[in-house]
DNA sequence: TATGAATGAGCCTTCATTCAT
DNA sequence: CATGAATGAAGGCTCATTCAT
């Protein structure tokens, strides 16, 4: 069973190991598919014995949830820290970190997209659904504030293009995530005077 | 086994039945997921006995392929008939029929997106992969001809937003597929004098 | 269902057809195995539609029984006609027609041997078992009368070697069935003065 | 899956268990038939859970192959150790150990005979076919050396009678395997002066 | 913690058989 | 007589999970 150690020192090591395993599972699932990957296969790909996995995760579906949490939580945290006063600038910053997050979590994204119907219908998936809705709402509001002509359509369009980035982005490609993000923002935002446009990190 | 009748009259009925079943399977898979739907469940949802399905499709994966074919082939056929001389107008027409096709085949699209990894890696999926690549190429070329600033990025962006439409579009919603398509085109195309803009069907 | 016609003329044609089908089934089963051959496969190999077979035989196991009957009955009939007064001569004649029967019914024999356990244990197989026992008894008695030293062992030995002939005999081989039969008899019989030895047909 | 342990100690136990299971399967198949015995039935007869069988054998047909190997390999090994200088004596010794092997492996033999067509035609059965051919060749050569009049026919006859022994021999019967073997040899060998005849163990 | 043998439910698929045409 | 679509039971096999070591 998945028993988390109580001693702080061991607990830190345990949590780190668990995070690594979840990340590894995301990679394997993205490549082979969640349902197509058996637990023995997964365990072997992670360098573990069949049953050892269960020391860290209570089951296969929980593992999937953990992958989605590992994707959503840091994204929401980073978004919460945005503090640009100008809405257009905040939007651009948001899309930048969003695209960056997507390409840094390509595997998680691919798994997330494949398992759409479980996430939408599953009983244990409420928290993930809530996270996604929070992000959606936040994005749509920001698009309105930024003066986009049709915020609702822009919202759907952005969701589509940014998330889809996971499917074609290659780390050794010719564009940086930031360039891609700026390209996306330029599509939905009315032309902005360069003075307002942030310089990027 | 899936034996197609030789008599033309019976063959027509057989083919029609098969198409219906494939469409029905797309609906069921979109809702419950391909792997989560067992063959008995599927057969029952289609109003068939467990084994009767195999008169029309030789196996579960072939059924998935049939769903993708039912999605891709008519789309490519409709695209091939585009004959607008002006590239921008042709692009708009393309996106219009594309969006229309996507919302008319929502179930197929959802299944298509969920099973991305099988399609990309599976041995029997070459023809589907080829269809997708043909469409990709065609779209990117057209974007270039239409004078889009960054055709490659626009291409990825359009793919993302149009395909994603399947996930949020509701038939009783406030926008028609054509309005959505025009909204997408307006995002990627430089402003067009209204005179050139086609009126729609 | 297997409905035998009542009109004598049609009945003869029906019976002939049935015999042909049973013979054909023996050939197919000998080659591919009884359990490994599905009814659709068999029907196709016989040039029939899937269900047409059931006009002649009520089921797959009955078909197997019919094959065994087609093997045993004519053999017993031919054996019953033996009338050589000298036991040794009668034994030789028996083995000759037996070997001839085996090589003429190679397929039946191979099926018969493969399905030994069904024949021994199956409920509907009593008549076949009875036929076999009748033949066994008859053979052993004759061996005793012919003055073989150890009739019981010779009986088992003959059964083994003659039946096994079905597995290696080739019609284009260098030996005739009669030569083979004489070879077998010479093994179990004490040397016989040539005067008694029959000349063969 | 059938994963053989790497640790020597556990591997020995695993191999022993596997051998037992294969032997048990031979018994069950001999009694009920290979195709007539379902995997759950077999597993229950062996005292295992349905899926546990697959820790030791990768599939039902592999199990059949394992049974045939368990039959052929030790026989060939024992035959290879024969060292009687006199051919006739060597033949007698061969038949003795052969008959002994057959009656000790009655179940294996019965399965082997029933599944003749799979062995002859199956793709994975080459090694078994090779073993059988090696034995055949060896036997025929030895018959020639021993001065049998018609070595080829004697070879087929011996194969038939010895193998057939599995079908009628009963452990509590009145003859020992050695007596049976000697009876067989006396059939095919010209009368031998008792001085040469070995005494038996 | 780590392991991997054991489990039984559940999967996809095949099959013998029926019956409307 | 002939056909082949339809069926549901049963088959072989896989899998997520457990637990003794």
| Span D71-97, pLDDT tens digits | 999 999 999 999 999 999 999 999 999
The whole-number pLDDT of residue B29 equals 98
Residue D106 pLDDT > 90: yes
Neighbouring CB atoms inside 10 A of A42's CB total: 21
Read off the pLDDT of residues D4-39 as tens digits, 9 standing for 90 and up: 887 777 888 899 999 999 999 999 999 999 999 999
Query: Exposed/middle/buried for C173, CB within 10 Å: 0-12, 13-18, 19+?
Result: exposed
Name every residue whose Cβ is closer than 8 Å to that of residue C99 and which is 6 or more positions away in sequence.
C162, C165, C177, C178, C180, C181, C184
Please name the member of B114, B121, B156 whose beta carbon is closest to the beta carbon of A168.
Answer: B156
Q: Is the backbone of residue D147 left (phi > 0), alpha (psi -120 to 50) or beta? A: left
Please name the member of D164, D168, D183 whose beta carbon is closest to the beta carbon of C164.
Answer: D164
The whole-number pLDDT of residue D59 equals 96
Q: Do B31 and A188 touch (CB under 8 A)?
A: no
Q: Do C127 and C119 form a contact (C-beta atoms < 8 A)?
A: no
> Which chains touch C (3+ CB pairs under 8 A)?
D
Computed over every residue of chain D, the mean pLDDT equals: 92
Read off the pLDDT of residues A33-76 as tens digits, 9 standing for 90 and up: 999 999 999 999 999 999 999 999 999 999 999 999 999 999 99
- The C-alpha atoms of residue D168 and residue C81 are separated, in whole angstroms, by 28
Q: Do B187 and A157 touch (CB under 8 A)?
A: yes
Of the two residues B5 and D126, the one the predictor is more confident about is D126
Residue D2 pLDDT > 70: no
Q: Give domain status of residue A63, yes or no.
A: yes
CA atoms within 13 A on the CB side of A49: 5
- The C-alpha atoms of residue B123 and residue C164 are separated, in whole angstroms, by 46
Please name the member of B32, B153, B160 whose beta carbon is closest to the beta carbon of A163.
Answer: B160
The whole-number pLDDT of residue D171 equals 95
Which residue is closest, via its CA, to the C1' of F19? Answer: A51
**Which secondary-structure segment (H or E) carries C143?**
helix C126-145
Backbone angles phi, psi at D88, to 5 degrees: -60, -45
Q: Residue D115: which CATH number?
A: 1.10.357.10
Q: Do A186 and B194 form a contact (C-beta atoms < 8 A)?
A: no
Total number of domains in chain D: 1
Domain span at D124:
8-188
The whole-number pLDDT of residue A184 equals 98
Please name the member of B32, B150, B162 whose beta carbon is closest to the beta carbon of A117.
Answer: B32
| Confidence class for position D199, pLDDT limits 50, 70, 90 | low
> Contacts of residue A114 in chain B, CB cutoff 8 Å?
113-117
The whole-number pLDDT of residue D110 equals 97
Q: Do D167 and D110 form a contact (C-beta atoms < 8 A)?
A: yes
Burial B63-82 (b: 16+ CB within 10 A, else e): bbbbbbebbbeebeeebeee
B170 touches A: beta carbon within 8 Å? no
Residue D200 pLDDT > 90: no
- The C-alpha atoms of residue D178 and residue D98 are separated, in whole angstroms, by 10
Computed over every residue of chain B, the mean pLDDT equals: 92
D152 token code pair: 């080829």
Q: Give domain status of residue B181, yes or no.
A: yes
| Confidence class for position D201, pLDDT limits 50, 70, 90 | very low
- Low-confidence spans in chain C with pLDDT less than 70: 1-2, 191-201
Q: What is the mean pLDDT of residues D105-127?
A: 94
- The C-alpha atoms of residue D79 and residue D101 are separated, in whole angstroms, by 11
Tell me which residue has tokens 């099926």. Answer: C111
The whole-number pLDDT of residue B8 equals 76
Read off the pLDDT of residues C131-182 as tens digits, 9 standing for 90 and up: 999 999 999 999 999 999 899 999 999 999 999 999 999 999 999 999 999 9
Q: How far is A14 from chain B (nearest CA, A)?
A: 31
Q: How many interchain CB pairs under 8 A, C with D?
A: 95
A43 touches B: beta carbon within 8 Å? no
- Mark residues 54-93 of chain B whose C-beta is closer than 7 A to nucleic acid strand E: 54, 58-61
Burial D175-189 (b: 16+ CB within 10 A, else e): bebbebbbbbbbbbb
Question: Looking at residue C89, what DSSP letter applies?
Answer: H
The whole-number pLDDT of residue D1 equals 58
Q: What is the mean pLDDT of residues D49-65?
A: 96
- Mark residues 5-44 of chain D whose C-beta is closer than 7 A to nucleic acid strand E: 5, 10, 14, 17
C117 touches D: beta carbon within 8 Å? yes
Task: Say what percent of chain B tops pLDDT 70.
Answer: 94
Q: Give domain status of residue A200, yes or no.
A: no
Q: Give domain status of residue D194, yes or no.
A: no
Q: Do D160 and C163 touch (CB under 8 A)?
A: yes
Q: What is the mean pLDDT of residues D92-104?
A: 98
Task: Report the first-to-last Cα separation within chain D, whole angstroms.
Answer: 45
Q: Do B161 and A156 touch (CB under 8 A)?
A: yes
Q: Do B14 and B52 form a contact (C-beta atoms < 8 A)?
A: no
pLDDT tens for chain A, 201 residues: list them.
567 888 888 889 999 999 999 999 999 999 999 999 999 999 999 999 999 999 999 999 999 999 999 999 999 999 999 999 999 999 999 999 999 999 999 999 999 999 999 999 888 999 999 999 999 999 999 999 999 989 999 999 999 999 999 999 999 999 999 999 999 999 999 765 554 555 544
- The C-alpha atoms of residue C74 and residue C81 are separated, in whole angstroms, by 11
Q: Do C113 and D115 touch (CB under 8 A)?
A: no
C131 touches D: beta carbon within 8 Å? no
Query: From the centroid of its chain, how far is CA A130?
Result: 14
Q: Give domain status of residue C200, yes or no.
A: no
- The C-alpha atoms of residue B5 and residue D172 are separated, in whole angstroms, by 61
Nucleotide nearest to A5 (CA to C1'): E1
Please name the member of C116, C118, C164 whose beta carbon is closest to the beta carbon of D160.
Answer: C164
Q: Give domain status of residue B201, yes or no.
A: no
- Does the CB of D52 sit below 7 A from strand E? yes
Q: Give domain status of residue C198, yes or no.
A: no
A136 touches B: beta carbon within 8 Å? no
C66 token code pair: 């019919």
Interface with chain C: mutation pick from D30, D117, D184, highest number of C CBs within 10 Å: D117
The whole-number pLDDT of residue B6 equals 77
- The C-alpha atoms of residue C12 and residue B159 are separated, in whole angstroms, by 72
- Does the CB of C39 sit below 7 A from strand E? yes
Q: Give domain status of residue B61, yes or no.
A: yes
């Amino acid at each position: 069973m998945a028993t988390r150690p109580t001693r702080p020192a061991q607990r830190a090591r345990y949590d780190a190991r668990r995070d690594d395993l979840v990340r590894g599972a995301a990679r394997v699932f993205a490549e082979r598919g969640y349902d197509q990957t058996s637990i023995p296969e997964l365990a072997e790909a992670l360098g573990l014995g069949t049953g050892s996995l269960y020391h860290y995760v209570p089951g296969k579906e929980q593992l999937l949830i953990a992958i989605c949490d590992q994707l959503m939580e840091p994204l929401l945290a980073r978004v919460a820290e945005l503090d640009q006063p100008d809405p257009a600038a905040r939007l651009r910053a948001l899309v930048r970190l969003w695209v960056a997050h997507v390409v840094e979590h390509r595997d998680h994204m691919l798994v997330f997209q494949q398992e759409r119907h479980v996430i939408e219908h599953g009983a244990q998936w409420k928290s993930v659904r809530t996270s996604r809705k929070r992000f959606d709402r936040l994005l749509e509001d920001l698009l309105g504030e930024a003066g986009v002509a049709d915020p609702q359509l822009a919202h759907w369009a952005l969701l589509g293009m940014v998330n889809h980035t996971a499917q074609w982005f290659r780390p050794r490609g010719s564009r940086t995530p930031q360039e891609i993000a700026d390209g996306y923002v330029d599509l939905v935002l009315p032309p902005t005077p360069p003075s307002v446009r942030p310089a990027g990190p």
